[in-house]
Amino acid sequence: MAIIEVQDLHKKFKNLHVLKGITTTIEQGEVVVIIGPSGSGKSTFLRCLNFLELPTSGEIRFAGDLITPDNLQVVRREMGMVFQSFNLFPHMKVIDNITLAPRLARKMEPEEAKSQAYELLTQVGLSEKADVYPNQLSGGQQQRVAIARALAMRPQVMLFDEPTSALDPEMIGEVLDVMKSLAADGMTMVVVTHEMGFAREVSDRVVFMDDGLLVEENMPDQLFSNPQHPRTQSFLSKVL
Amino acid sequence: MTFQWSSVKEFVPLLLPGAIVTVKLTSISVLAGIILGTIFGIMRLSRTPLRYLAAAYIDFIRGTPLMVQIFMVFYGINALIEGTLDPFPAALIALSINSGAYVAEIVRAGIQSIEKGQREAALSLGLSNSATMFYVILPQAFKRIIPPLGNEFIALLKDSSLVSVISVNELTRYADTTAGRTFRFFEVWFSAAIIYLILTVTISRIVILLEKCLKVDE
Ligand SMILES: Nc1ncnc2c1ncn2[C@@H]1O[C@H](COP(=O)(O)OP(=O)(O)OP(=O)(O)O)[C@@H](O)[C@H]1O
Ligand SMILES: [Mg+2]
């Protein structure tokens, strides 16, 4: 079953045409990795999916419903997002970072939100960090908290925008491990990343994006070993 | 007549009741100014037509002399209501409205200084615009604008001397009448200056302390 359907999505920033007509479907439970050169529009595409960027034209459907500025807040609750720069709330303890949205946007009881937060912290391996402030954590730990924070809304889809790009190499693994176990649990995920190992190992489909278009997509083995499009070939030859 | 320290010691206590009025007036006005300034600062950044209203208010207040504003409020309200408005509430209103405009600009800058990612993270979690502002942006912005708010407090305390023109019995007016009565003009005004200085230095110390206290978590 399709959970996200994108139809002829365009995005312009003033005169800059960044997304030039994207049509694709994300299936329930699917893990899609998006790769592509810098500036090709990967982040913009991801941010259009939850309307952090307003599409210039085109349609996005979530679970069959057209996303509009009116139902947007409801849809965002179903789509967690993890950012390259973590974006934890620095003035709140880890536990409050995680419970804020469930309490406000899901009207969850404080007690329930808290016990859920402890469960999620355990899941990402940080059960002892509930009462510290984000700046007391390493980058990898912060990103794992950010994942827990997004999961606390019990989203149906998780969007990741280069979740490991800001991390020191020794911390990348711990974040990827959390993402792998999420995928194993059946979470629908759209991941922009340069981690080709992760794409190969975890994803159901890899999409190569260039110059605002989805140029080629295939199962990871196929795409990596036998790219069809010359631009995919040239990109892969540089990164693999 | 030569300058006498002894008379400074004599005048400072005489001026204290006026100093208390000055502190009351300024503290209440700054608090009201922070509330007004937060509302108008947010309005100024909104994408609704309200932002023009906020801009007009801010420009008008910052573009006209405080003394003129004080007279406008005093005579304006007295013309509108039946009976008369006492000088003290009139001064409170004028100073609050004045402070609100300056605080609005401080709040606006504070909000704009918060990284875009904070707002995006909150929105992506499904929070409303107002919840995002209230729980995520403003708490961080306020922490950041404590120093300029402290400066505004100090500026307002000094500027509050202008309400002596509508006969509010604050420090400057106390000094004026005391000087007229005793003819020790320099000593009286020097005493008033000492009191103003003590007050402003105290405020800036409190602001520094407050900043330190709030820094612990970040
Ligand atoms: N808010 C914005 N205003 C103007 N231009 C923007 C904005 N956001 C992105 N762009 C431009 O859109 C283009 C695509 O940017 P985007 O961030 O989507 O690329 P990306 O594929 O994610 O690149 P990277 O791998 O470097 O993250 C770039 O040229 C970028 O400068
Ligand atoms: Mg990007």
CATH number for the domain including B129?
1.10.3720.10
Burial of A233 (0-12, 13-18, 19+ CB in 10 A): middle
Q: Give the pLDDT of chain B (218 residues) as one tens digit per residue.
A: 577 788 888 899 999 999 999 999 999 999 999 999 999 999 999 999 999 999 999 999 999 999 999 999 999 988 888 778 899 999 999 999 999 999 999 999 999 999 999 999 999 999 999 999 999 999 999 999 999 999 999 999 999 999 999 999 999 999 999 999 999 999 999 999 999 999 999 999 999 999 888 876 55
Q: Which two tokens stand for residue A200?
A: 């190969």
pLDDT of residue B78: 86
pLDDT of residue B215: 76
Please say if the pLDDT value at position A239 is more than 90: no
CA distance B96 to B90: 10
**Residue B50, phi then psi, degrees to nearest 5:** -55, -25
Does B140 sit within 8 Å of A80, measured CB to CB? no
Q: What is the ipTM score, two decimals?
A: 0.95
Nearest to A19 by CA among A52, A54, A44, A46: A44
> For residue A236, what pLDDT band results from cuts at 50, 70 and 90?
very high
DSSP single-letter state for residue A57: E
Q: Is the CB of A15 under 6 A from ligand 1?
A: no
Tell me how crowded residue A219 is: count the other CB atoms within 10 A of its CB: 12
Stretch (H or E) spanning A156: none
Burial of B109 (0-12, 13-18, 19+ CB in 10 A): middle
Burial of B8 (0-12, 13-18, 19+ CB in 10 A): middle
Angle between helices B5-45 and B87-112 (to 10 degrees): 50
Residue closest via CA to ligand 1's atom 25 equals A38
CA distance B86 to A173: 70
Alpha carbon A201 to chain centroid, angstroms? 17
DSSP single-letter state for residue B115: -
Set of chain A residues whose Cβ sits within 8 Å of the Cβ of B218: 90-91, 133, 135
pLDDT of residue B213: 87
Could you list the residue range(s) of the whole structural domain that residue B152 is in? 5-214
Say which of B122, B128, B140 has its CB closest to residue A90. B140
Which residues are placed with Cβ below 5 angstroms of ligand 2, an ion? A 43
> For residue A179, what pLDDT band results from cuts at 50, 70 and 90?
very high
> For residue A1, what pLDDT band results from cuts at 50, 70 and 90?
confident
Distance A176 CA to ligand 1 centre (A): 24
CA distance A48 to A44: 6
Say which of B117, B120, B125 has its CB closest to residue A105. B125
- What percentage of chain A carries pLDDT values higher than 90? 98
Nearest to A87 by CA among B118, B131, B127: B118
Q: Which two tokens stand for residue A127?
A: 């059960």
Q: Say if B130 is an interface residue toward chain A (CB within 8 Å).
A: no
CA distance A91 to A111: 21
pLDDT of residue B85: 83
Q: Is the CB of A193 under 6 A from ligand 1?
A: no
Please say if the pLDDT value at position A39 is more than 80: yes
Instruction: Report chain B's terminal Cα–Cα distance, integer Å.
Output: 57
Question: Which CA distances in Å does B49 have to A173, B58, B137?
Answer: 49, 15, 22
Tell me how crowded residue B36 is: count the other CB atoms within 10 A of its CB: 21
Residue closest via CA to ligand 1's atom 12 equals A18
Count of domains forming chain B: 1
Contact between A204 and A30 under an 8 Å Cβ cutoff? The reply is yes
Using CB atoms and an 8 Å cut-off, which of residues 98-127 of chain A contact chain B?
100-101, 104-106
Q: In the sheet where A57-62 sits, what is the strand order?
A: A16-27, A2-13, A57-62, A65-66
pTM assigned to the model:
0.91
Q: In the sheet where A205-210 sits, what is the strand order?
A: A79-82, A157-161, A188-192, A31-35, A205-210, A213-218
> For residue A159, what pLDDT band results from cuts at 50, 70 and 90?
very high
For residue B141, what are the contacts with CB-CB under 8 A and spacing of at least 6? B107, B110, B111, B113, B114
Q: Say if A77 is an interface residue toward chain B (CB within 8 Å).
A: yes
For residue A222, what are the contacts with CB-CB under 8 A and spacing of at least 6? none
